Amino acid sequence: MAGNKKQRQFFKDYSVAKPFLEKVFYYGSYSAQDFAEADICGKSKYFDMQKTLRYVFGSLIEETRNAKGQKALNLHIDHLYDPHRAFLRFFALKSFTSVSRLLRICYVLQRINADVSCTVKELSEGLDIISGGVESHSTVVRILNDMHSKGFLEKKGSAYSIAYDATKLKSGDIQLLVDFCTSAYPLSVCGSGILNKIDQKYESPFLFKHRHLGQIFNDETVWKLILCIHNRQSINITTKRGSFLYDLLPYRIITKKETGRQYVFAVYTGEKDYNEYLILRLDRIKKIDIISVSDMSDDTLIEKYDTAFRYSFNGTTIINRSDEPAVGTLIYDNSFEWNIKKHFPNCEPVIVDDTHKKVEIKVNSFTELKPWLRVNADKVRLVESSDGVVDELHEELVKWRKMYDIK
Amino acid sequence: MISNKSELIDEYSNYFFISLINAVNSVVGGEKLKLLNFQNKIISDAGDHEGDYLGEVSDEIKSEYGILFETDDDKFLASRINSYVPMCLSETEKIYLKAILHSKYSKLFLSDDEISLLDNSMKDIPYIPIDEYVVSSPSHSASYFDKQADKLRLLLSAIKENREISYSNKTRNADYIDKCGYPLKIEYSVLYDVLQLSLWSSDEHRPVKLNIHSMYDIKATENIWKEKKSPAEMLETKRCKEPIIAEISDNINTLERADILFSMYDTKITENKGKYQLEIKYYEYEKDEIIKNLISFGPYIKILSPPEMVDSIRETIITLFEKQQ
């Protein structure tokens, strides 16, 4: 019993559990010593955590030797087996509560369901008779208040009723939609939670391919920001590096599809002479504090957003209102025109020869184009740019050749 | 205004709790369970097959199960209340459900009537357009997905029945007519916002990936999969034995980018003398995509093995250099 309690206690220390799992997930080579050196947890907690991760991830977790010969936990991700539910199991353990309380919650829900609605008095008297207890009234009040505040129960006068029963969603098609959205829609862990409630043994016809599974660690931040965006609330942000950003009104969360990185675009609402807007990587955020409700209009926010990204190639680089975009020229194979038109629909191509065309483009930064240029380098090349990226790319190519001993 | 206290995941999403509710409902539904079977059912459904983690929690059930059950003369459990325990959704889950119901994906699976019925049942739930706040591009319109609903239903049905389909497929470079294969899984490509199909080709005896929007004349055939291994298990046989090993330059930004970019694969990163080594295990059919992703890093990631992949990268660089001159 003691070990079990210790484990539950450990999970409440979420500030330790989450970075622990992140390291296991991304690296798979962290030993107990490495966790201690990284200031994540001591050696004794490592073993508690190991036991917990074994429960959460089952055979996906393996302990192997790392390069230093030390034992290290490694999480195997295989997209034929959806790991979302395992992650859900982890996130939901955050608030592991006592069995005694859970049984009482079951009683309360079952009774309300049977009677359609119930009062505190009816529920606590019923519970008193069964348990012979004297604390049922306060227990029931706590349960009802908590479940009401989280949206599980509705309250009319002094009577409580069930707000929404997920079992009525147990039709194949809605399950398919929820399942599909765990891959295609933001907040995948939430979809997994609903799916698990509808049918714990559901088997997916989808190939798990959440391209950027690591985004799952951002989900809680994404949810907090979504609420602030919706409520039009200004926030202060504390970054993991210890800096503070004040008076920001979050407007959009941006996902860079090529890399999976997520950013928040926010507008400065304070009175100091700071930048008008900024974008910040979500994995850099440590804490969000809500400060006030902003009266900034939709039109103003849209105008600022459009201004910031006015020449952005993939929607993740901003420029200030007064900045000029970078200008450059691309030469490309005719067979690649579909891609050029997709990215630069308003540019006019000029024929270079029978097989090539060129196009003048404006972008927020050519650095944004680098991965795209590398991947498509057999079809397109940047021949000039106002921000020096042409030279950078050439130097990189030389370095690349050298790296593979190409003469 | 929606309360900022609304959590993404709360204690009521706990696997143990869901398993407990399901087990109670089994008894209410008439399943004959003794206390020990009841305990084991919960622990097993909660995913703790060895009872290693939740074993002691199970003991707590033993001491307090009387809140919900009486036992008959044969020690079988009987629910005190003749009613199911409802599976409640949190405020966050309801908001999410409503949001996906209004998303461009809903008509892939639900009819207008079904959407309207569900939407009515949630009329008191606030609507948050999550996919408007979380921007991602490129993004196809709702009508693009609506057009694929019929094809998707046919494919899902074929997957369920292990049934072969005949199809044609038009790509940018060619038109493949009257092909046959067994659909394995539906896949969503976040990069292109498209639906794809993994299929075991009857003609080529290998897995093939197709964009569903480019498939046409899809028909179910009379043939049902007869191999011992299921189509999905056949996919598993295509796992490469030798992982890709790559060295990441001493640049934390590159490392973090690689972290998330390859997070869908079975990866491991080790640090040795200030250099990071990335190991990627993969399936044969993922190879091209992984190479493309590695190339996108340029000289900041060096592939060390397998040798044939190093050779392939070398060839690519030589070609690129010639092209870029």
pLDDT digit string (tens) for B249-303?
867 788 888 888 888 788 888 877 778 889 998 888 788 888 888 988 889 999 9
Task: Residue A56: list chain B partners with CB under 8 A.
Answer: 47
**Selection from A191, A186, A165, A161 nearest residue A176 by Cα:** A191
CATH classification of the domain holding B229: 2.30.30
What does DSSP assign to residue B74?
Answer: T
B84 occurs within a structural domain: no
pLDDT, position B81:
94
pLDDT, position A1:
41
pLDDT exceeds 90 at position B247 = yes
Would the CA dihedral through B215, B217, B219, B224 be positive or negative?
negative
CA distance A79 to A28: 17
CA distance A183 to A200: 18
Task: Enumerate the domain spans of chain A.
Answer: 2-76, 99-164, 168-210, 217-308, 326-403
Residues 323-352 of A with CB under 8 A from B: 338, 342
Residue A163 near residue A59 (C-beta atoms within 8 A): no
Mean pLDDT of chain B: 88
Read off the pLDDT of each residue in B151-167 and give the average, rounded to a whole number.
93
Tell me the fold of A326-403.
Alpha-Beta Plaits (3.30.70)
Task: Please tell me which residue of chain B has the smallest CA distance to A373.
Answer: B296
Q: If you count them, how many residues does chain A have? A: 407
CA distance A152 to A161: 9
CA distance A242 to A238: 6
Task: Residue B314: list chain A partners with CB under 8 A.
Answer: 404, 406
**Selection from B259, B253, B131 nearest residue B193 by Cα:** B131
B162 occurs within a structural domain: yes
CA B15 to each of CA A343, B96, B225: distance values in angstroms, whole numbers, following the listed order: 45, 19, 35
Q: Under 8 Å CB-to-CB from B316, ≥6 apart: which residues?
A: B291, B295
B124 and B199 housed in the same domain = no
Cα A369 to the center of its chain, rounded Å: 24
Query: Do the domains A99-164 and A2-76 match in fold?
Result: yes
Amino acid of residue B287: K
Higher pLDDT, B83 or A68: B83
Quote the number of domains for chain B: 4
Read off the pLDDT of each residue in B175-196 and give the average, rounded to a whole number.
87
CA distance B269 to A29: 7
B51 and B74 housed in the same domain = yes
Compute the half-sphere exposure of residue B60: CA atoms within 13 Å on the CB side of its CA: 20
In total, the C-beta contacts within 8 angstroms joining chain A to chain B are 402
- Phi, psi (deg, nearest 5) at residue B23: -70, -40
B6 occurs within a structural domain: no
pLDDT, position A96:
66
Residue B131 near residue B99 (C-beta atoms within 8 A): yes
Amino acid of residue A49: M
Contact A377 B320 (CB under 8 A): yes
Task: Please tell me which residue of chain B has the smallest CA distance to A167.
Answer: B87
B232 and B162 housed in the same domain = yes
Give the pair of three-digit tokens for residue B218: 């899809």
Low-confidence ranges of chain A (pLDDT < 50): 1-2
B60 occurs within a structural domain: yes
CA distance B69 to A104: 12
Residues 173-192 of A with CB under 8 A from B: 173-174, 176-178, 180-181, 183-187, 189-191
B86 occurs within a structural domain: no
> Which ipTM was obtained for this model?
0.90
B80 closest CB neighbour out of A130, A167, A189 = A130
Cα A111 to the center of its chain, rounded Å: 37
B139 occurs within a structural domain: no
pLDDT exceeds 60 at position B319 = yes
CATH classification of the domain holding B259: 3.30.70
Contact A173 B110 (CB under 8 A): yes
Residues 160-219 of B with CB under 8 A from A: 160, 172, 184-191, 198
Task: Residue B324: list chain A partners with CB under 8 A.
Answer: 377, 381, 394, 397
B195 and B151 housed in the same domain = yes
- A215 reaches B (C-beta below 8 A): yes
Compute the half-sphere exposure of residue A255: CA atoms within 13 Å on the CB side of its CA: 31
A190 closest CB neighbour out of B8, B47, B191 = B8
A80 closest CB neighbour out of B15, B235, B310 = B235
Largest CA distance in chain B: 89
Best probe of the A interface among B3, B5, B6, B10, by most A CBs < 10 A, is B10
A207 closest CB neighbour out of B82, B106, B198 = B198
B3 occurs within a structural domain: no
For B307, the domain range is 244-324
The correct answer on CATH 3.30.420 for the domain covering A217-308 is: no
Residue B276 near residue B270 (C-beta atoms within 8 A): yes
**Selection from B64, B82, B63 nearest residue B25 by Cα:** B82
pTM of the model: 0.89
**Selection from B22, B31, B155, B168 nearest residue B87 by Cα:** B22
CA distance A300 to B130: 20
CATH of A99-164, one of 1.10.20.140, 2.40.110.10, 1.10.10.10, 3.30.70.580: 1.10.10.10
pLDDT, position B253:
80
CA distance B22 to B87: 9
B311 occurs within a structural domain: yes
- Phi, psi (deg, nearest 5) at residue B280: -120, 120
pLDDT, position A325:
95
| Residues A298-311 pLDDT 10s | 999 999 999 999 99
CA distance B285 to B208: 8
Amino acid of residue A282: L
Query: Roughly what angle, to the nearest 10 degrees, separates helices B307-324 and A389-403?
Result: 140
Tell me the fold of A2-76.
Arc Repressor Mutant, subunit A (1.10.10)
3-state SS assignment for residue A359: strand
- DSSP secondary structure letters along B209-242: EEEGGGEEEEEEEEEE--SSS-HHHHHHTTB-SS
Read off the pLDDT of each residue in B167-179 and give the average, rounded to a whole number.
91
B169 and B220 housed in the same domain = yes
What does DSSP assign to residue B170?
Answer: E
Give the pair of three-digit tokens for residue A248: 């920001």
Strand duo A262-268 + A277-281: pairing? antiparallel
